[in-house]
Structure 1
Amino acid sequence: MRADGELTVGLLGAGMIAGVHAHAYRGSPGVRLVAVADPVPGKAERIAGRYGATVVPDLGALLDLGVDVVDICTPPTAHAGAAIEALQAGRHVLCEKPITRTMDEARRVLAAAEVAPGLLSVGQVARYGPDHRLARDLAASGEVGLVRMLSHSTTTSLPGWSEAGWLADAATSGGPLLDQGVHGFDYARWVIGSPAVRVHCMASGSGAGPLTYTLATVRYENDAIAHIECSWAHPASRGFRLRAEIIGTEGRLSWDYDHMMGGVLHAREGDAEWWDVLGDREFTLELSAFFDACRDGGPPPVPAAEAAESLRTALAAIESARTGRTIDLTTWEA
């Protein structure tokens, strides 16, 4: 970081979520995107050209530029190696969720973060939605009494934006239970404030693939429960829908929305322009909190250990859906 407080960023990956991050940097004064790396020809150029950054071939080249922050927006199977290399090079690291694809990888990342001088935070962006955060703050203040149940539902069709369709490959993405459901598992743990101890998940296949409609029930150490629904099996014409509810001994909170986009401009000529709620709300707040933590010396906004716990719950839900068994998280090894 320069004496004037400027933070320089190297963006690893140039897919959809990387574009959302690059857009959201604009909400953080004193942050400059220096370079973008992606192995697919032409992808990095699109983001770099829009934001005045340089195109470089790989993570090593990003590190050679001396960037302060490495923002990892690759498929999850590449998270561990990139995070460890960047941490060992002394950089701050923001890694998109899930923290890694497997628990073995997560343990290696946690070990690297413990001895690294830089911060590691994970992109559990649901914590930064104004509705999600307000509901959590009200619950934490005791407004609804003791939280006994939380439900979190996200339903959509199979996302079509992943390079070569990697999201549809469960070995890479983990399917909706990991790619999408990890938001719900993380949010529930954050609100309930107690470790998950048991998971049972039912799932059905669809045209989007196996285990693409899922409903998981999670029991926590304090006896609260959460219902996490996620789907890639819904019609594309329906779009994305979120419904959430927190129920306590003294009241209940609920909210929902029908689309990721907050509005649309239909110009006389050209394509419609959608206003991206994610880029302008959740991600802007998430990235601002991370950059502030980098300047202040921590702590990370979403500690890696909490993200690893959410990963473990999601992996247990996958195992439950596959086997039909309830998974005891107090003894289960992923």
Structure 2
Amino acid sequence: MNGAIIGYGTIATGHAIGYRQTEGIDVTTVVDPTPARAEAAQRAGLRAYATYAEMIDYEAPDFIDICTPPNSHADYIELGLRDGLHVLCEKPVLMPHEGRYDRLLDQIAASDKVFYPCHNYKFAPILTEMERVVRSPGFGDVLSARFRTLRQGHAVGVPEWNPHWRRDPVIAGGGILRDHGPHSVYLATHLTGRTPLAVSCLTGAMRHDGHTGTEDTAKLIIRCDDDVQIELDVTWSAGYRNSYYSIIGSGGWVTVENDDVQYSLNGQPHRAALRSNFDDPRHPDWFAAMFADFLTTTRHPEQAAPLLAESLTTSLVIDGAYASAADDGRWVELTPARDLLMGVAR
């Protein structure tokens, strides 16, 4: 299976490496309007086009992989589905527009191709180890979870094109809550298996770095079914980098902090060190595992429906969090994704 990457920035270079490591799938083509990025793609052995229209005139990809900033995701998703292609998309996968998500969901429902979210943190080896512990019989029912992501600033993009686009609300659709928030939300719902019912959120700009149009810090509390509570903290204003994940069960617990894993099952404590690669934005090994899963999903398209629900749930939580933050952290009830996807399941 062969594809085209749309947008050749830092994340896309990681995707390209991941494809080279994955049997049965590859990319040979890039779409990027910035001449310097097109040249970078060509140096990497990829054919480059300035526009999607030009690319589709000369190439016949099986899929597109959207690695552009958020404000263009919907347009490229529509183009890919229109042309009968499988579509992968970087986070935030679904962005609210006029009519909210209805138009895009209808297009996904009408397509016989796979729409796949690039939720790459699910494929980090250290977090798959966390998942193994949580799924173990001795862990019991999930009771609560807390994730904390500390960064010393926003990720800076390529110098050839608006390196600080993550702090531009028009391009990014928000600040850290829209940028890194999705990782925390989809990972929390994936690992706990819980359905978000309501969210309370506070945001702020604490770094005082001149980027005042978006928030750099957010704290979310998510109420889920069975009275499970998930707490998420994300910030670009920290003095050091730290990635922390903790889940407590009725029979055990597990924490991941950077490269350290600790857990207890059946009353027995365990500790291990695993290289997390949390600090490498390209995550090539994560992407290789994710692309193998995408390839499997194209062969078993019924597996795409839960992924669409996961993408929509993530976006609905982020939307609710922004609504809550705008009203001093009030609780915002969330519409379950399944209610919006009644007509989408294939």
TM-score between the two structures when normalised by the length of structure 1: 0.85
Tell me if the contact between 1:205 and 1:212 (Cα under 8 Å) persists in the aligned partners: yes
Identify the residue that residue 41 of structure 1 maps to in structure 2: 35
Hey, what's the Cα distance between the residues in 2 that align with 1:225 and 1:38?
42
Identify the residue that residue 74 of structure 2 maps to in structure 1: 80
After superposition, the Cα gap between the structure-2 partners of 1:23 and 1:117, relative to the gap in structure 1 and judged at 3 Å, is: same
Identify the residue that residue 166 of structure 2 maps to in structure 1: 167
**Would you say 1:194 and 2:194 are equivalent positions?**
yes
- 1:129-144 alignment runs, 5 A limit: 129-144=124-139
Secondary structure of the structure 2 residue equivalent to 1:303: helix
Identify the residue that residue 54 of structure 2 maps to in structure 1: 61
Between the aligned residues of both structures, percent identity stands at 24
**Would you say 1:313 and 2:309 are equivalent positions?**
no
Q: CA RMSD in A?
A: 2.5
Tell me if the contact between 1:119 and 1:298 (Cα under 8 Å) persists in the aligned partners: no
Q: CA deviation at 1:277?
A: 7.8
- 1:259-298 alignment runs, 5 A limit: 276=280, 278-297=282-301
Tell me if the contact between 2:200 and 2:222 (Cα under 8 Å) persists in the aligned partners: yes
2:327 to 318, 323, 329: 323
Deviations 1:135-191 (CA, angstroms, capped at 9, x unpaired): 223323333211011111111112222531210113332211111011111111122
Tell me if the contact between 1:77 and 1:100 (Cα under 8 Å) persists in the aligned partners: no
Q: How many residue pairs end up in the alignment? A: 310
Q: CA deviation at 1:301?
A: 8.8
Identify the residue that residue 265 of structure 2 maps to in structure 1: none
After superposition, the Cα gap between the structure-2 partners of 1:178 and 1:44, relative to the gap in structure 1 and judged at 3 Å, is: same
Hey, what's the Cα distance between the residues in 1 that align with 2:305 and 2:128?
13
Q: Could you tell me which runs of 5 or more consecutive residues in structure 1 were left unpaired when the two chains were aligned.
A: 1-6, 265-274
Please say which of residues 309-318 and 161-170 is displaced more in the overlay: 161-170
TM-score between the two structures when normalised by the length of structure 2: 0.82
Hey, what's the Cα distance between the residues in 2 that align with 1:301 and 1:143?
29
Q: CA deviation at 1:214?
A: 1.4
Identify the residue that residue 181 of structure 1 maps to in structure 2: 181
After superposition, the Cα gap between the structure-2 partners of 1:57 and 1:190, relative to the gap in structure 1 and judged at 3 Å, is: same
Secondary structure of the structure 1 residue equivalent to 2:68: coil
Hey, what's the Cα distance between the residues in 1 that align with 2:223 and 2:276?
38
* Aligned-partner residue type, residue 95 of structure 2: R
* Aligned-partner residue type, residue 7 of structure 2: G
1:30 to 24, 31, 36: 24
Identify the residue that residue 13 of structure 1 maps to in structure 2: 7
Hey, what's the Cα distance between the residues in 1 that align with 2:51 and 2:72?
12
Secondary structure of the structure 2 residue equivalent to 1:229: strand
Please say which of residues 133-142 and 63-72 is displaced more in the overlay: 133-142
Q: CA deviation at 1:66?
A: 0.9
Deviations 1:43-78 (CA, angstroms, capped at 9, x unpaired): 12202321x221112122333311001000011111
Tell me if the contact between 1:144 and 1:250 (Cα under 8 Å) persists in the aligned partners: yes
- 1:202-213 alignment runs, 5 A limit: 202-206=202-206, 207-208=208-209, 209=212, 210-213=214-217
Q: CA deviation at 1:89?
A: 0.9
Deviations 1:283-311 (CA, angstroms, capped at 9, x unpaired): 12111211232245452396222101101
Tell me if the contact between 2:116 and 2:308 (Cα under 8 Å) persists in the aligned partners: yes
Q: Could you tell me which runs of 5 or more consecutive residues in structure 2 were left unpaired when the two chains were aligned.
A: 261-274, 337-346
Identify the residue that residue 234 of structure 2 maps to in structure 1: 230
Q: CA deviation at 1:105?
A: 5.4
Hey, what's the Cα distance between the residues in 2 that align with 1:288 and 1:330?
32
Q: CA deviation at 1:313?
A: 0.2
Secondary structure of the structure 1 residue equivalent to 2:149: strand
Tell me if the contact between 2:188 and 2:230 (Cα under 8 Å) persists in the aligned partners: yes
Tell me if the contact between 1:99 and 1:106 (Cα under 8 Å) persists in the aligned partners: no
Q: CA deviation at 1:322?
A: 2.2
After superposition, the Cα gap between the structure-2 partners of 1:48 and 1:175, relative to the gap in structure 1 and judged at 3 Å, is: same
Q: CA deviation at 1:319?
A: 1.9
Hey, what's the Cα distance between the residues in 2 that align with 1:287 and 1:297?
14
